[in-house]
Amino acid sequence: MTEDKERYIAELRSQGLVVLTKAEHSANEEYKEAIAHWSDTARREAQYVFCPRDANEVSKAIAFATKFSLEIAIKGGGHSCSGASASNDVLIDLGKHINTVAYNEKEQLVTVGGGAVWQQVDEELSKHGRATVGGTVQSTGVGGLTVGGGYGFLSGQYGLAIDNLVRAQVVLADGTIANADDKGVYMDLFWGIRGGGSNFGPVTSFTFKTHPVGQVWTGLMTFPPILLEPFFNAAQSWFRQAKDNEAANIFIGCSPLGPGLVLLPFYNGSEEDAKKSFGEFLAMNPGNGPPGTEIGMHPYMYANTLQNLMTTAGDHKAFKATKFNHWDIPRFEKLFKDFSQLVGAEPSDEQDVKDLAADPAITGSSVVIEFYPHNHIGKLKSGDTAFANRAAGFGMLFVPRWKNPDLNEKALQWARARAAEVDQREEKLGGSVKGKGGEGTEGYSNYGSGNERSQDVFGGNYARLQGLKAKYDPGKVFNKWFPIEPTKA
Ligand SMILES: Cc1cc2nc3c(=O)[nH]c(=O)nc-3n(C[C@H](O)[C@H](O)[C@H](O)COP(=O)(O)OP(=O)(O)OC[C@H]3O[C@@H](n4cnc5c(N)ncnc54)[C@H](O)[C@@H]3O)c2cc1C
């Protein structure tokens, strides 16, 4: 069997396909780079790493893995914390070569390789005064972010990344290269990849609509804990009147001074209007963020660099998301206290929290609350694409960061427990939007911790996805991200 594999690999290499193996290359920088992830928690030492140059080579890699019944992981930008883009068997690394970005002036569309990161898209489109809905952190992969939905600062105006997707090229489990759009023979597949994640195979190219964009008003503002109540009250006044061209992210994070609050406002319009809209925050005399995050008018791309310092690669990290609708100060006070205990700024009686607080990387943790005006996201219903998380609400994300791998489970549990508390309080305050009208009952899938049930993530779309899975991947070759059980024949 091993000899068969070796012969097969030798044959693929003779055809020009780059294959790195753990046996031959584990000390090699190229191999290490390929298996590296944003979070060390997601790192696996794949036996075979394929670095294809095009869809045809991706197809060959899939054929190898299926012939020998090896687990496949597809890696785009490598930002998943859950291990969805990592495998001990076969890793198909799209990021190495399938990462070109080409803007078509006539069509005003951009075509992006499945392994590109958003920085490349931002940079190319900025040359043309345009942008698409993409990640708010430039190192994030286009691939994973898009197939899982995709929120960005322009979501209020133009919806999700998938709402801007015009066509995509997908390599299916049987090796077929499918060109999918909303009219052709792969119309159903096009529905499935818009929210169904990597369940149908690697997307080797995405073509998105683009939009004109000039200077935007953005930057970071910081607020001390003493201002927690007026800060969250200001946030409420702001979002009640916010227009589609606005967005905001709120962070509970830690500076050398200890835990505090950070606001990232985004306004795609004039400085004068922006200052009016975010005036209540400005009146609180906020502090500045680190150099390079100054509030003011900047190129659109600048907004997507503001979180760079808070989101560096390395260490272990976990994601856990939820969604809420009721804006109440006690919730935020409790969250702030929990966070302060996590980072050791306040005492805790819980041994697990004490253990986490002692970790040298824990102060890099954060809690993120995201607000994107809902009109355009809600124009489509949950069943219109496979993405089942369109209801209005505030996304909340827990991101513990730590060094010691022995704390992996404790950190995950901390994040999951906090999300569960948010959900319980939401029920108390009048009920959650989650699970209504075909919505999934989990938070944003791309922020999942990995243990969510696929049925809960995909909500009312799960049955249809099962049918598609039976059609395009009945053998569950792609099974790493909220796996879908194919409908029985
Ligand atoms: C620092 C940071 C900032 C983020 N900011 C945002 C944000 O602003 N908006 C937002 O919506 N989300 C955001 N996310 C979440 C992000 O969307 C997910 O982590 C997403 O999975 C990242 O995609 P990736 O390609 O980097 O990940 P990977 O780890 O490479 O992949 C994640 C999943 O997507 C699959 N995948 C990747 N590429 C492809 C492809 N080409 N074809 C098919 N499947 C593929 C993988 O197989 C895996 O299942 C952020 C995450 C991080 C860590």
Evaluate whether the domain defined by 215-447 bears CATH number 3.40.50.300: no
How many CB atoms lie under 10 A from the CB of residue 459? 21
Residue 202 in contact with ligand 1 by CB distance below 6 A: yes
In angstroms, the CA 103 to CA 166 distance is 14
Q: Which of 139, 167, 197 minimizes the C-alpha distance to 458?
A: 197
Residue 114 in contact with ligand 1 by CB distance below 6 A: yes
The DSSP letter of residue 486 is P
The domain segmentation of the chain, as residue ranges, is 2-93, 101-213, 215-447
Query: Would you say 17 and 50 are in contact if contact means Cβ atoms under 8 Å apart?
Result: yes
Q: Which two tokens stand for residue 97?
A: 């070569």
CA dihedral 423, 419, 322, 447 (to 10 degrees): -160
Q: What is the position in ligand 1's atom list of the atom closest to the CA of 42?
A: 29
Residue 448 in contact with ligand 1 by CB distance below 6 A: no
Spans in the chain with pLDDT lower than 50: none
Task: Compute the distance from residue 449 Cα to the ligand 1 centre, in Å.
Answer: 13
Starting at the edge strand found earlier in the chain, the sheet holding 165-171 runs 101-104, 109-113, 203-209, 165-171, 177-181
In angstroms, the CA 266 to CA 261 distance is 16
Task: Compute the distance from residue 446 Cα to the ligand 1 centre, in Å.
Answer: 7
pLDDT tens-digit readout, 271-290: 999 999 999 999 999 999 99
Q: What are φ and ψ of residue 39, in 5° steps?
A: -110, 130
Structure confidence at residue 438 (pLDDT):
79
Mutation test residue for ligand 1: of 51, 71, 75, 89, the one with most atoms within 8 Å of CB: 75
Q: Scan for tokens 């024949």, then name that residue.
A: 489
Q: Whose CA is nearest to atom 7 of ligand 1?
A: 135
Structure confidence at residue 1 (pLDDT):
63
Mutation test residue for ligand 1: of 74, 89, 90, 112, the one with most atoms within 8 Å of CB: 74
Would you identify the CATH topology of the domain 2-93? 3.30.43
428 CB-near residues (< 8 Å, 6+ apart): none
Report residue 128 CA to chain centroid gap. 26
CB-neighbour burial class of residue 386 (10 A; exposed 0-12, middle 13-18, buried 19+): buried
**What is the Cα Rg of the chain in Å?**
22
Three-state secondary structure call for residue 252: strand
In angstroms, the CA 131 to CA 154 distance is 9
Task: Compute the distance from residue 162 Cα to the ligand 1 centre, in Å.
Answer: 13
ipTM over 0.95: yes
Q: Which of 166, 164, 157 minimizes the C-alpha distance to 187?
A: 166
Structure confidence at residue 101 (pLDDT):
98
In angstroms, the CA 373 to CA 378 distance is 9
Structure confidence at residue 69 (pLDDT):
97
How many CB atoms lie under 10 A from the CB of residue 148? 29
Q: Whose CA is nearest to atom 28 of ligand 1?
A: 78
Which CATH code fits 101-213?
A: 3.30.465.10
Q: Which of 431, 245, 390, 251 minimizes the C-alpha distance to 332?
A: 251
The DSSP letter of residue 487 is P
Which secondary-structure segment (H or E) carries 102?
Answer: strand 101-104
